[in-house]
Amino acid sequence: MHDRSSITSGIFYPEDPQILQELIDSVLQQGSDPQKLPLAVGIPHAAYDRVLPHMGTAFSALQGTVPERIIILAPLHDPVLLEDAPAFIFCSPEQQIHTVLGDLRLDPALAQQVLSCSGEAAAIRSSYFEEETAVELAAPLLVRLFGQVPVLPLYIGGTRAADAQKLADLLRTIITEETLVILSLNLSAWEGAQESLTHRDALLDLMSSTAPVHYIDSYRRKEISTCGVLLLEALRRVQRAPEPWSILSIDDDTTPSSQGRRTQYGSALLRLQTAETRSTE
Pairing state between β 89-91 and 151-156: antiparallel
Q: What is the pLDDT of residue 241?
A: 85
Cα dist from 114 to 92, 152, 154, 277, whole Å: 11, 10, 10, 22
Q: What is the pLDDT of residue 205?
A: 98
Q: What is the pLDDT of residue 2?
A: 54
Q: What is the pLDDT of residue 237?
A: 95
Q: What is the pLDDT of residue 190?
A: 95
What are the residue ranges in the chain where pLDDT is below 70? 1-11, 31-32, 274-281
Q: What is the pLDDT of residue 278?
A: 46
Task: Report the CATH number of the 33-280 domain.
Answer: 3.40.830.10
Angle at 125 between CA 119 and CA 127, to 5 degrees: 150
List the domain boundaries for the chain: 33-280
Scanning 97-254, the segments in alpha helix (DSSP H) are 108-118, 127-131, 134-146, 161-174, 193-208, 215-220, 229-238
Count the Cβ atoms, other than its own, within 10 Å of residue 241. Answer: 9
